[in-house]
């Protein structure tokens, strides 16, 4: 393996990790969908938005970081997807923008739209934002209608390398059943995490409204968790049965130093993502660990409750204390979601797979070989990425500080 290809793999792994973290942090959007289904009065809605209003900036920042990392490491993907699927990404941007000013102005006196209007915008962000992001990520596997011609660089009148081949500009991706399936799966994952986080924080805050909110969230969690697990299993099954595309590195011409795959022919392969999991076993292990953590966390949240846990009595934990699987269910399920989503995104680009298939011409599909930045750029970015652990530490520190303050129920 050349240094160049190693760095391509490294940055695909890092961008995929950011995508997985983004799916986890969508619990804020999931929590916003509870405004008029779980919260029953204005005090409970204020409490709910105070719980999630202190975290929305982290989700938004992660979304921007994901886009920035994709732009810097795989600029051809960025220009093809963000520029070609224009209307899809504009919709995603709009539903996230309305979230920002809704939190800012919802409780302002004499605001222009009124509190209910801002609540509606937050609900739109919660329901539509999660589904649309899932649709966009689903195109990594189902492909999109684009053409790539790098020879346009040599033509002065041509100002684009890749272009969309229809006038829908990404809206057609919403009509793909697999994309919609992934979008709804992300929605149920976000709602499930939103329920878990609501229960966690209501117990910490205390009070009659918090107790009632936690009880209703606990009841609705069972339905959401079942939906999430079923939808995820169906999506993974469809993913493993799906045809994908792989670079035939063996027949490639080494036209770029150390990068034969950049000129390799792209060939179809049945069950390509299943093969990737089996041929790169640590990715399969990551997926299995993630699934186990999700199931354990959900079981702890649903079956192991304070003071009446049959499992805890059998394993020797004092039944008068809160079961640790119940107490930390949000984080167990959350990290399980991160591991599972990370594994799925890794399988899209690793093992010489085309991570963004072209439905117009498979030979124009994007791979790590033909869409990444130069060796020099990836090297410089890798030096910068050494600071990532410090960023993670800062996020964890800020998270703990925000959780330490119970906040005012009328913050939002």
Higher pLDDT, residue 51 or 402: 51
- φ and ψ at residue 282, rounded to 5 degrees: -70, -25
206 confidence band (pLDDT: 50, 70, 90): confident
243 confidence band (pLDDT: 50, 70, 90): very high
Rounded average pLDDT over 304-328: 65
409 confidence band (pLDDT: 50, 70, 90): very low
Higher pLDDT, residue 35 or 2: 35
Least confident of 37-41, 149-153, 329-333: 149-153
pLDDT at 408 over 50: no
Position 303 scores a pLDDT of: 84
Alpha-helix residue ranges (DSSP H) falling in 242-359: 272-279, 281-303, 310-315, 324-327, 329-349
Higher pLDDT, residue 85 or 154: 85
The domain spans of the chain are: 3-404
Rounded average pLDDT over 341-347: 97
Radius of gyration of the chain (CA): 23
Rounded average pLDDT over 278-289: 96
25 confidence band (pLDDT: 50, 70, 90): very high
412 confidence band (pLDDT: 50, 70, 90): low
pLDDT at 410 over 70: no
pLDDT at 330 over 70: yes
Please state, for a pLDDT cut of 90, what percent of the chain lies above it.
63
Q: Give 148's strand partners.
A: 162
Least confident of 17-31, 84-98, 109-123, 132-146: 109-123
Rounded average pLDDT over 289-317: 77
- What is the per-residue burial (b if ≥16 Cβ within 10 Å, else e) of 266-296? beebeebbbbbbeebeebbebbeebbebbee
DSSP 8-state assignment for residue 114: -
- φ and ψ at residue 245, rounded to 5 degrees: -135, 140
Average pLDDT in the chain? 87
pLDDT at 129 over 80: yes
Which DSSP helix (H) or strand (E) runs through 115?
helix 115-142
Position 255 scores a pLDDT of: 47
Least confident of 286-295, 342-351, 383-392: 383-392
Position 56 scores a pLDDT of: 87
pLDDT at 256 over 50: no
Write out the two tokens for 7.
């760095």
Position 172 scores a pLDDT of: 95
Rounded average pLDDT over 89-108: 89
Higher pLDDT, residue 194 or 384: 194
pLDDT at 110 over 80: no
């Amino acid at each position: 393996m050349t240094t160049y290809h190693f760095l391509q793999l490294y940055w695909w792994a890092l961008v995929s990790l950011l995508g997985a973290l983004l799916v986890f942090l969508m619990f804020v959007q999931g929590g916003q969908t509870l405004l008029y289904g779980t919260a029953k009065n204005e005090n409970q809605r204020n409490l709910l938005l105070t719980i999630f209003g202190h975290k929305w900036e982290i989700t938004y920042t992660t979304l921007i970081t994901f886009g920035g990392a994709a732009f810097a490491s795989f600029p051809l993907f960025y220009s093809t997807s963000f520029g070609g699927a224009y209307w899809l990404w504009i919709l995603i941007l709009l539903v996230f923008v309305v979230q920002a000013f809704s939190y800012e102005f919802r409780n302002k006196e004499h605001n222009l739209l009124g509190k209910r209007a801002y609540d509606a915008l937050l609900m739109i962000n919660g329901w539509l934002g999660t589904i649309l992001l899932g649709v966009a990520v689903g195109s990594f596997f189902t492909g999109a209608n684009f053409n790539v011609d790098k020879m346009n660089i040599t033509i002065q009148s041509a100002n684009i390398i890749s272009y969309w081949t229809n006038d829908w500009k990404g809206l057609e991706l919403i009509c793909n059943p697999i994309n919609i399936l992934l979008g709804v799966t992300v929605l149920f994952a976000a709602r499930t995490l939103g329920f878990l986080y609501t229960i966690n924080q209501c117990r910490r805050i205390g009070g009659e409204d918090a107790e009632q909110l936690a009880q209703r969230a606990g009841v609705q969690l069972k339905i959401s968790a079942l939906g999430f697990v079923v939808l995820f299993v169906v999506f993974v099954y469809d993913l493993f049965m799906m045809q994908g595309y792989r670079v035939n590195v063996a027949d490639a011409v080494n036209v770029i130093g150390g990068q034969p795959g950049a000129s390799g022919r792209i060939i179809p392969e049945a069950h390509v993502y299943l093969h990737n999991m089996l041929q790169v076993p640590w990715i399969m292990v990551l997926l299995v660990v993630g699934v186990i953590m999700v199931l354990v966390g959900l079981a702890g949240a649903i079956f192991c409750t304070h003071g009446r846990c049959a499992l805890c009595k059998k394993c020797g934990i004092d039944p008068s204390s809160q079961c640790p699987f119940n107490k930390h269910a949000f984080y167990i399920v959350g990290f399980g979601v991160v591991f599972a989503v990370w594994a799925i995104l890794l399988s899209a680009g690793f093992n010489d797979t085309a991570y963004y298939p072209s439905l117009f011409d498979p030979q124009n599909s994007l791979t790590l070989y033909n869409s990444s930045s130069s060796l020099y750029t990836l090297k410089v970015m890798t030096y910068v990425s050494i600071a990532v652990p410090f960023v993670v530490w800062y996020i964890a520190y800020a998270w703990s500080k925000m959780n330490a303050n119970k906040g005012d129920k009328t913050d939002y």
